Amino acid sequence: MVQTAQDDTLHRRGLMFILSSPSGAGKTTIARMLLAADMELAVSVSATTRPMRSGEVDGKDYHFVTQAEFDRMVEAGEFYEWAHVFGHSYGTPKGAIRAGLKAGQDFLFDIDWQGTQQLYQKAERDVVRVFILPPSLAELSNRLIGRGTDSAEVIAARMARAQAEISHWDGYDYVVINDDVEVCFAKVHEILNAERMRRTRQTGLIDFVRELTRG
Ligand code: ADP
Ligand code: 5GP
């Protein structure tokens, strides 16, 4: 297990760690680095109505559900947030996250500003919001081209949306500029470790301090 700032015996409540950025600024890269480096962090598994792609595993990549089941979950209030994306429904189920948070598990969310607002409204005290900015628009464009996953049209559309996405920077607790990727990753990891030590998350503190100050 990787050493973290929270490697002690005190119980703490987990947190919901949100990473957002304009497309291409490096959110996926930083998310992968965090997950590889930090064993206390897990990804939340969403529910979706879209068909399973080859190689995907039900319960790992997504919980694949029918539209009727998805609608029932919406009605029953079982999602923190949900949305229609590219003709299918996607949502973040509350059950596993609630149980995990109580047990001290942290969850990583790689979501946009709208999803962030919804999660914050539902679970303000458990949420930590981090926004990643590119060092410049020229560099953002270079990264989208360099990634090699999108056509010129898609890259142009992502660049056109970038300014609007950047305008949501003030809806976040932390803002980190992703210039050097290792430096950015280290800063984001520091934020995660510091937030773990927030007094209100350290549910084991009351008993510890009571014991510490007895007699
Ligand atoms: P996002 O998930 O925000 O759309 P990605 O993580 O896919 O962005 O990053 C976009 C591209 O930029 C990828 O090819 C990635 O390897 C590269 N990249 C990410 N961070 C940096 C950085 N600090 N310097 C240079 N290239 C980077
Ligand atoms: P894909 O079908 O390619 O896996 O995902 C399509 C889109 O759905 C992505 O932009 C992804 O971020 C979004 N998405 C995945 N899960 C959720 C979720 O739980 N809630 C919301 N709002 N969007 C999601």
**pLDDT band at 8, cuts 50/70/90?**
low
Q: What's the 3-state SS for 27-76? A: HHHHHHHHHHHCCCEEECCCEECCCCCCCCCECCCEEECCHHHHHHHHHC
Torsion of CA 72, 86, 34, 26, to 10 degrees: -160
Ligand 1 atom closest to residue 146's alpha carbon, by position in its atom list: 14
pTM for this prediction = 0.89
Could you tell me the two tokens for 122? 């539902």
- Domain 16-44+104-212 CATH assignment equals 3.40.50.300: yes
> What residue segments make up the domains of the chain, in order of their start?
16-44+104-212
The residues lining ligand 2, judged by C-beta closer than 6 Å to any ligand atom, are 46, 50, 81, 83, 85-86, 90-92, 115
- List, for residues 156-213, the tens digit of each pLDDT value: 999 999 999 999 999 999 999 999 999 999 999 999 999 999 999 999 999 999 999 9
- List, for residues 133-170, the tens digit of each pLDDT value: 999 999 999 999 999 998 999 999 999 999 999 999 99
- Amino acid 3: pLDDT: 38
The alpha carbon of 73 and the centre of ligand 2 are apart by a number of angstroms equal to 17
Q: Is the CB of 162 under 6 A from ligand 1?
A: no
Q: Is the CB of 25 under 6 A from ligand 1?
A: yes
Ligand nearest the Cα of residue 20 is 1
Ligand nearest the Cα of residue 161 is 1
Token pair 């590219």 is found at 86
- Amino acid 1: pLDDT: 37
Residues 90 and 24 sit within 8 Å (Cβ to Cβ): no
Q: How many CA atoms lie within 13 A of 193 on its CB side?
A: 17
**Under 8 Å CB-to-CB from 132, ≥6 apart: which residues?**
19, 20, 21, 25, 26, 27, 30, 175, 176, 177, 178, 184, 188
